[in-house]
Amino acid sequence: MIFRGEAFAKTNLVLKVLGRREDGFHELETIFQTIDLTDEIEVSDGPSGIELECTDPAVPSDARNLAHRAAVLLREHSEVSAGARIRLVKRIPAGGGLGGGSSDAATVLVLLCRLWSLRPALASLVEIGSALGSDVPFFFAGGTARGRGRGEIVEPMADVSSQNLILAVPPFSISTAEVFAHWRPMPTSPGGAVFGANELASAVLETYPEMVRFLEVMSRYYPDCQISGSGASLIAAEDDPDPERLSALRAELPDARILRTRTVSRSEYQRRSTVESAFFQRR
């Protein structure tokens, strides 16, 4: 049997870092938002163990890939002996602060529950998700949601109004761990109407100085702009779709991939993502 699903990207509308914790993680207060950019995932029966195939040669397809780790962890947790093949069509840039790996992991967990006829409580999947990464549990909610703790304590909120967005993806990726390691408390600009403060921004700019130019150019064209999560992507509100402004931005940042996208509400997420429909059917 084959099961397919779409894994959505996220951004952070606000990201506040409250401090470093004893366990080395940082205490956060954030607002997550799903956006319309997806990876495609297909799971099917496999002879034994977990086999992952990924369309992006730059993304590892072994245990370093969160989707692979998700499958191994679910298999151990549920004492499943069957194997699985996972095919991942990667469109969300890795190391882009867009939660792609976390979203893939959440989607793989749900698709494998179908393949292996497992019906764990949502709380068990959230527990497995949290063990994989701080952002994974958000993808069991989607839409607009508050994140606390290290990001894994998720509380769905009313959706923000639908918003067109511009995403700029620089030609390099960023390590979240490295950015957090350089974080220290410092005053941060309050941000714009859609994108509020990102208290990781200074650490990103200090650790990856090549980001300074991308942020400067992007904010000149789209002032309500922020680094997405721990970067490297930059995301901006586009209130008035203006093709000339977009072309001028592309001309000034020829080394970045520049995409139009938009916010995805929880109801659209429920409809389109495998993750939500799996749970809403059985609530």
List active site positions. 10, 135
Task: Please report whether residue 22 would count as binding ligand C5P according to CB under 6 A.
Answer: no
Stretch that binds ligand C5P, among 25-33, 119-127, 164-172, 256-264 (CB under 6 A): 25-33
130-134: list long-range contacts, CB under 8 Å, 24+ apart.
Answer: 131/73, 132/66, 132/69, 132/70, 132/73, 132/102, 132/105, 133/66, 133/101, 133/102, 133/105, 134/25, 134/28, 134/102
Task: Please report whether residue 100 would count as binding ligand C5P according to CB under 6 A.
Answer: no
Task: Please report whether residue 133 would count as binding ligand C5P according to CB under 6 A.
Answer: yes
What residues from 219 to 248 belong to the interface with ligand C5P (CB under 6 A)?
Answer: none
Q: Tell me 224's DSSP state.
A: S
Tell me how many residues contact ligand C5P (CB under 6 A): 11
Query: 234-237 and 257-262 as β-strands: parallel, antiparallel, unpaired?
Result: unpaired
- Considering only 65, 176, 207, 228, the residue that binds ligand C5P (CB under 6 A) is 176
CA distances to 15, 92, 159, 167 from 97, in Å: 12, 10, 21, 11
Stretch that binds ligand C5P, among 23-31, 161-169, 210-218, 250-258 (CB under 6 A): 23-31
Cis geometry, peptide bond prior to residue 232 (ω within 30 degrees of 0): yes
- Considering only 33, 103, 134, 202, the residue that binds ligand C5P (CB under 6 A) is 134
Task: Please report whether residue 99 would count as binding ligand C5P according to CB under 6 A.
Answer: no
Q: Kindly list the residues in this chain that would bind ligand C5P in the complex (CB under 6 A).
A: 25-26, 28, 133-135, 150-151, 176-177, 180
